[in-house]
Amino acid sequence: MKRASILLLSHLTRQKPKTLTPLLTRNYLSSNTTNTPSYFSLHSPTNNLKSCTKTNGLIIKPHQSQANPSRNSGTLVETTPQISSRQKKIKEKSQIEEAFESAATVEGMLEAFKDMEACFDERELGLALLKIGLKLDQQGEDPEKALTFATRALKVLDIGDDKPSFLVAMTLQLMGSVSYSLKRFNDSLGYLNRAKRILGRLEEEGTTNVEDIRPVLHAVLLELSNVKTAMGRREEAIDNLKKCLEIKEMTMDKGSKELGVANRELAEAYVAVLNFNEALPFGLKALDIHKSGLGDYSVEVAYDRKLLGVIYSGLEEHDKALEQNVLSQKVLKSWGLRSELLHAEIDAANMQIALGKYDEAINTLKGVVQQTEKDGGTRALVFISMAKALCHLEKIADAKRCLEIACGILDKKETASPVEVAEAYSEIAMLYENMNEFETAISLLKRTQSMLEKLPQEQHSEGSVSARIGWLLLLTGKVTQAIPYLESAAEMLKESFGSKHFGIGYVYNNLGAAYLELDRPQSAAQMFAVAKDIMDAALGPHHADSIEAYQNLSKAYSAMGSYTLAIEFQQRAIDAWESHGPSAHDMLMEARRIREQLKTKARDASTNQLPTKALPLPHSSPSGKNEETYIMTSLSARIKQA
């Protein structure tokens, strides 16, 4: 990672005295040691020479002035110093080192390094190899070459004595960074985790200054976050980002701009997993830091307010969202940031739509579209939002025309901007769902999925799209086709987001509905039980979707003839609806009616046949997380139809 390599390279330079590598034999090293890592504790060779120098048979004391010729028995004798071959070699090495150290470009470093390779053993070149690798990673133009130097450095520095080495940790960080650039995510993860373990041991043992450890540990954690995000493991990535923030809080001034940015980045990570409640305090802290340090009209404050608008929208506090958006627009306009301003205006229109102000939203978008390029991606986003507003006004023909224009623009940008186009296609598909154009929506989502499956870092989005395709196929009666999509979605989302998010509960609920439709009640009960566990943990047992999960379990056990369990889960649904008060009167009456039906079936069954043995409920609840707000909203709003 370029930024980390810049910081670590400057850190290496600050830490190291004049010489770069342990070029001298042990006899020439100073006996004065410090807490600095041993590789940095080298001194210039001229300071380690013996206390006398031979010159033409005369002995010159080291502190004797050489300004005038020496006197011997009253006679002036001019002397010419003679340097031994060993001293000459030491001086030559020192000059080569000086050339390497003074090189300002990577080309200059590589040229000087060729001379070093001719004079030094490979075991003496570890730090030079590391420094070149960091410089190459900083440039970012040739990651393979950077990895070659880093690998050589590791072979030199990692002597295998089981003692934690600060430089080995730095080298592993570099290898992890370069492997990430090369999309070798598993390799990167291995290098970075080992670097993290070494740094942890160094901190525990106290052999290295903690002020030296922290910047390297921060770089390692930040890179781990990037790698895990790319692998779809976003919850773990957030944990690494939180630790990065903790390090910055320990090392930076409380009002520093960078600390504010770190808070905002963590808030953005929470938004990506739809955890708006967790995102809010970090977004507010970022705003507070930047307002105090930079003033109300700084660009950073504008970015903070824009993010807060997204967070408040996710929390369905649309008035607060619009307020933050308006304040952000003022700052962006004052700084002349036209592109960011146009996107903020589109966001404002979407907030107006959420507030039911459809005509205002359309007027806002009409103003924006006049400022966009004919085939620009921003123009496509304007028409998508325009279609959304028109759908709410039931102007379906006009909405479809807007979506056709948007698709025409996006079609030309699939190769250049696949992630952005995939997100736009997914939102367009949702609008076609709202217009009951299910086949068009399915076709567009399959196109989206084919784009995302080529991007491993977008596994979470691919899982979301697969879940929606499965749900739409289920909704249109193509049950057998739906199951593979739903099963695939469940696996991808579990890998991406862990086991406790409500989104994956909807996928399992739909799987249960599919199995029940295929007359496989035992499989359905298993899926509904998993969904129930997730809903209870994520939403609470009294949430409407949790109650629906109880009733679905009741249906599955009823289909199996296990009426005792069916009645038990239906009773739980009744108890939960009763806690909602008068607003849930109709649902409560329906739940009670179903319970009485089950009791009647149970009495009839007891006189005719033995009940079918029920499956035990699972103790764990496999689950995962979804990515896009509109995807989860769609699943949440429509699950009961399945």
* 1-7+87-231 topology per CATH: 1.25.40
* 502-610 topology per CATH: 1.25.40
Asked whether the predicted pLDDT for residue 615 surpasses 90, the reply is no
Q: What is the pTM (predicted TM-score) of this model?
A: 0.75
pLDDT, tens only, 528-565: 999 999 999 888 999 999 999 999 999 999 999 999 99
Amino acid identity for residue 461 in this structure: S
Instruction: Give the Å distances, CA to CA, from 85 to 61, 89, 90, 119, 163.
Output: 21, 6, 9, 14, 37
DSSP state string for 512-577: HHHHHHTT-HHHHHHHHHHHHHHHHHHH-TTSHHHHHHHHHHHHHHHHTT-HHHHHHHHHHHHHHH
Asked whether the predicted pLDDT for residue 212 surpasses 50, the reply is yes
Q: Where are the domains of the chain?
A: 1-7+87-231, 502-610
Instruction: Give the Å distances, CA to CA, from 148 to 142, 144, 175, 346.
Output: 10, 6, 9, 46
Instruction: Give the Å distances, CA to CA, from 567 to 215, 525, 542, 552, 572.
Output: 60, 14, 18, 12, 9
Band (pLDDT 50/70/90 cuts) for residue 57 is very low
Mean residue pLDDT across the chain: 83
Asked whether the predicted pLDDT for residue 65 surpasses 60, the reply is no
Asked whether the predicted pLDDT for residue 23 surpasses 50, the reply is no
pLDDT, tens only, 372-415: 999 999 999 999 999 999 999 999 999 999 999 999 999 999 99
- CATH topology of 1-7+87-231 equal to that of 502-610? yes
Which tokens go with 407? 């698709």
Query: How far is C-alpha 417 from the chain's CA centre?
Result: 19
pLDDT, tens only, 241-295: 999 999 999 999 999 999 999 999 999 999 988 899 999 999 999 999 999 999 9
pLDDT average, residue stretch 353-370 = 96
DSSP state string for 366-424: HHHHTTS-TT-HHHHHHHHHHHHHHHHTT-HHHHHHHHHHHHHHHGGGTTT-HHHHHHH
